[in-house]
Amino acid sequence: MDRKSFLTIAAHVAAGIVAVAASAPSMAAQKTAIFAGGCFWCMEKNYEHVPGVTDVESGYTGGTLANPTYRNHAGHVEAVRVHYDDTKVSYGQLLATFWRSVDPTDGGGQFCDRGHSYTTAIFVADETEKRLAESSRNEIEKSGKLGAPVVTPILAAGSFTLAEDYHQDYWRKNPARYSYYRRGCGRDARVEALWGAEAHQGIVKSGS
């Protein structure tokens, strides 16, 4: 085969490869969402058991204090940053899991953890997230299922500071201590009493 013939065939092969690549589905978009639902250890484990979630990080957000830490995060709340594949789980589904993993009628904290840093909130990155979050909250309020007003605010997302390393995946690193804390705090008992069969929606394994 001469060079001209070889180059002609090669050009056709290359064109075919490009055409196949162009017609292939685009790679899944990795997105993030930020939720505050009391103890970030518990929220981290909850979301790590939602199919389509690829990573969850514990941290502090919502305040103005620069460089917050566990010992000093005044004005901030404990929160989680959820990384997810939006071809496998939608933001709306993450919202449904959020609501049914917390007590959104409690404005003073969550379960045994009291104070502002343990209050609930949804931090939205854009108008689409805001619209979906507000719609989901309105739906819950209109249902009257909870028997009390929903007090969880929907706020604009700001800076998110990662919590210290020992807080990340705490439930994996310290399973006995984590389980003792979660049971003692009454989190799951309250969520199940509040939401009934809807409790822990979207979480594949037990939330405990």
**Side-chain-facing half-sphere of 19: CA atoms under 13 Å:** 6
Radius of gyration from C-alpha coordinates of the chain: 22
Residue 149 CA to residue 194 CA, distance in Å, equals: 13
- Is 112 labeled as catalytic in the residue annotation? no
Which residue is catalytic, options 39, 42, 112, 185?
Answer: 39
Point out the residues that are catalytic.
39
